[in-house]
Structure 1
């Protein structure tokens, strides 16, 4: 079991790797970017890939490799995940694994709009997010979270721009900020869910809702942490999709470190190391700035599930 000093050492390693990749992204010549698609994606956003994604993952892997050897850590990266059969990946046998999204939000990146980031997490074999690092190349903002409390009973650490970050307290007469993945806004149930969120805002005394749907998963969760009251969620669904481990691992660490709510849509811990899937569609994901919002969103999901079953 790692101690706090070792986790801090690994957070420094992950930070250096994220910053290196983020600087590359920020300075890349967009005129030379070739946009490709990958067959294993389940939405327009997840199918988009560029040489920038591939180059950044290689850079990050190189930066992390010494720590992998020193601490017996596996590597799970979005662009190389298919190198192993799911049930044979080293993340299932080693005590920890790096979970890396070298460029989350490739779609907004190719559109030259904010909403993309580098995301690196350290996850234990039983699926606990021990630390997370997110770097936003657009604003040059670094987020770091560490959760030794999971294993050691010690205080968590949340940093923004390398300084202690305490999530903002709610102020009176604020709207409820609601973050959605862009693909969710195209679903048939979206208008009803959006209406339900307006009802939640009214019930909790907020000044309506303000919706955001242009960022990738990582920056949706980070932006949720920047705004209170706020929530971001992915409903479970029968078909494959709903994001992957690398979409949520680092921000789950950040949210946990900051005392925000993070769970699946049934209020259980996120399943970050299942033996048979890398996807999040079976249980979904929920981030909220407080428990009252989270409970209301889960209730909306339960009602939606019951309605769909009729």
Structure 2
């Protein structure tokens, strides 16, 4: 089944409704103590943490999106449910992270968000919806229709960052990486030569807002390829891939190929990694730094 533009508009509205509904639920737990559990088979503290709120938020999302599965013949992949492989048999699938940045949520700091994407079987995002319940900001995009912020067309200025600040959005776990110090030094050198006014790093957010915040301020976010499982999951990048690309920013695999968002043998992104940047110029220089 090939979805029409009208179908995509309808599904995007459903995704927006679901994301906002989940975000409202998450907000009711902001100042409450919640039950925190751990997942197995993942490689960092941030990816191990799960709460009752993640599960309840997913429930809210599925209440709204489940009817679309039969109506539009869609598959489903969510963080808090097992991958049933249906994404390989349908033309499109919902890719859902009910609360990315759970660690930030448990620490009561900004950096968590609801993320919902519709991905084609070939791995290309068709719809991306992200809701930040802390700042009450909704971001969304439909392939070929541009990026929206709070449901208004949004055209962030990402062409020249001269005289502006530069932010390295990073995973907290990267502080322990063997190349952390050398990469930081080279990033600082690039930022200075490129004419940015300052260099800072931010390590509290999850992957979703790490990517989205590149549209709010100049910067980069990356996941290096590695032989072991991890490196983020499909649902960490599916929605932001659409939003970033429609905003004419940069979001690709580490080697420059499109993000592999329907990987057949895993839901992890470690095989190709990911590189997000505010523009192609930044991405080119970041890749050179990381390759060296």
TM-score bucket (shorter structure): over 0.9
Out of 108, 114, 127, the position equivalent to 2:110 is 114
Give the helix-richer structure, 1 or 2.
1
Runs of 4+ in 1 over 6 A off after TM superposition: none
Do 1:158 and 1:164's aligned partners in 2 also have CA atoms closer than 8 Å? yes
Out of 172, 188, 191, the position equivalent to 1:198 is 188
Out of 210, 214, 217, the position equivalent to 2:207 is 217
1:7-52 Cα deviation digits (max 9, x unpaired): 1111000000000000000012643411111113221011100110
Aligned equivalent of 2:37: 36
Do 2:220 and 2:276's aligned partners in 1 also have CA atoms closer than 8 Å? yes
1:241-288 Cα deviation digits (max 9, x unpaired): 110000010000100111111111111100000110110111111111
- Find the residue that maps to 1:178 and give its secondary structure: strand
Cα 1:116–1:192 shift into 2, 3 Å: same
* Residue 206 (structure 1) shift: 2.0
Cα 1:17–1:300 shift into 2, 3 Å: same
- Find the residue that maps to 2:269 and give its secondary structure: coil
Superposition pairs of residues 65-80 of structure 1, within 5 angstroms: 65-80=66-81
Q: How far apart, CA to CA, are the structure 1 residues paired with 2:41 and 2:265?
A: 16
- Find the residue that maps to 2:110 and give its secondary structure: coil
- Give the alignment's TM-score, normalised by structure 1: 0.90
1:199-222 Cα deviation digits (max 9, x unpaired): 221332223422111101111111
Q: How far apart, CA to CA, are the structure 2 residues paired with 1:262 and 1:32?
A: 36
1:112-159 Cα deviation digits (max 9, x unpaired): 000000000000000001110000010111001110x3xxxxxx2211
More deviation, 40-49/266-275:
40-49
Do 1:142 and 1:161's aligned partners in 2 also have CA atoms closer than 8 Å? yes
1:77-100 Cα deviation digits (max 9, x unpaired): 001035x3xxxx100110000000
Do 2:128 and 2:242's aligned partners in 1 also have CA atoms closer than 8 Å? yes
Q: How far apart, CA to CA, are the structure 2 residues paired with 1:171 and 1:91?
A: 39
Structure 2 residue runs without a partner (length 5+): none
- Find the residue that maps to 2:164 and give its secondary structure: coil
- Find the residue that maps to 1:262 and give its secondary structure: strand
- Find the residue that maps to 2:82 and give its secondary structure: helix
Aligned equivalent of 2:89: 93
Structure 1 residue runs without a partner (length 5+): 150-155, 304-310
1:247 aligns with 2:257: no
* Residue 299 (structure 1) shift: 1.1
Out of 164, 168, 171, the position equivalent to 1:174 is 164
Do 1:168 and 1:227's aligned partners in 2 also have CA atoms closer than 8 Å? no
* Residue 61 (structure 1) shift: 1.4
Q: How far apart, CA to CA, are the structure 2 residues paired with 1:80 and 1:54?
A: 9
Out of 154, 158, 162, the position equivalent to 2:147 is 158
Aligned length: 290
Aligned equivalent of 1:129: 125
TM-align CA RMSD: 1.3
Aligned equivalent of 1:26: 27
Out of 101, 104, 125, the position equivalent to 1:105 is 101
